[in-house]
Amino acid sequence: MPVLEKGALRADDWQVVDDEAALPDAPVLISLARLLRDAALLAGRNAPLGVAIGNDVNPDVLAPLLPRLALVQVVLPKSRDGRAFSQARKLREYLGYTGEIRVAGHVIPDHYAMLLRCGASTVVVAEGTDAAVWEASRKVVSIAYQHGLAAETPISLLRRKVA
């Protein structure tokens, strides 16, 4: 499925690899279980490594491995389940993660601006998605009243310009 990044769609260049399958010398997305199991083996790997975590995972478990990760994928199993918002925020805000945070699952355009403000980078979207709808949704409210992690310009009091 395509990936939405900075207002544009692009092909997904990450390959999802099962826990027991061999890892190709290309960007791979693996499970948390495999990441933890094979941490020592993966230490010598040069090609980009990504991990998909469930929404019940405390991102703290990734802390020692984050320098090796180029992608952390979080998930919304249902559109109203907002745990991924806090996971993204923790990763960015105090776990020091600077790579890509990708959001998969039941994501709708109305989540988009808030996900970006929590530190997410990209969203996995359905085939045939109109990126313009997501961009419009991102931009429709340009003012925020609290600290966030997207590009923001303080206005006054608690307020920021965010789009």
Partner 1 sequence: MPEAPYIPQPEHARTYRYDAVDREFLAQRIAEFRDQVARRLAGELTEDEFKPLRLMNGLYLQLHAYMLRVAVPYGVLNSAQLRQLGMIARRWDRGWGHFTTRQNIQFNWTQLTDVPAMLDALAAVDMHAIQTSGNCIRNTTTDEFAGAAADEIADPRVYAEILRQWSTLHPEFTWLPRKFKIAIRGAEADRIASRTHDVAVQVKRDAAGAVGFTIQVGGGMGRTPILAVPLFEFVPEAEFLRTMEAILRVYNALGQRENIYRARIKILVRDLGRDGFLDLVQQELARMPLAPYRLAPEVVQAIRAHFAPPPFAPAGDAAAALARATLAEPEFAAWVALNTRPHRQAGYASAVISLKPVGGIPGDATAAQMEAVADLAERFAFGELRVSHTQNLVLPHVRQDELYALWQGLLAAGLATANFGQGSDIIACPGLDYCALANARSIPISQQISRVVDALDRTHVLGELQIKISGCINACGHHHVAHIGILGVDKHGAEAYQITLGGAPGNDAAIGELIGPSFSYEAVAGAVEKILLTHIGLRAPGERFVDTYRRVGQAPFKEALYARA
Residues that bind partner 1 (CB under 8 A): 58, 79-83, 85-87, 89-90, 93-94, 108, 110-111, 113-115, 117-118, 133, 136-137, 140-148, 155-159
- Minimum distance from residue 9 beta carbon to partner 1 (Å): 17
Nearer to partner 1, 33 or 140 (CB): 140
Nearer to partner 1, 21 or 141 (CB): 141
- Minimum distance from residue 16 beta carbon to partner 1 (Å): 25
Nearer to partner 1, 2 or 148 (CB): 148
Sheet containing 153-154, strands listed edge to edge, beginning at the edge strand earlier in sequence: 143-144, 160-161, 153-154
Nearer to partner 1, 2 or 82 (CB): 82
CA 118 to CA 44: how far, in whole Å? 31
Nearer to partner 1, 72 or 115 (CB): 115
- Minimum distance from residue 26 beta carbon to partner 1 (Å): 33
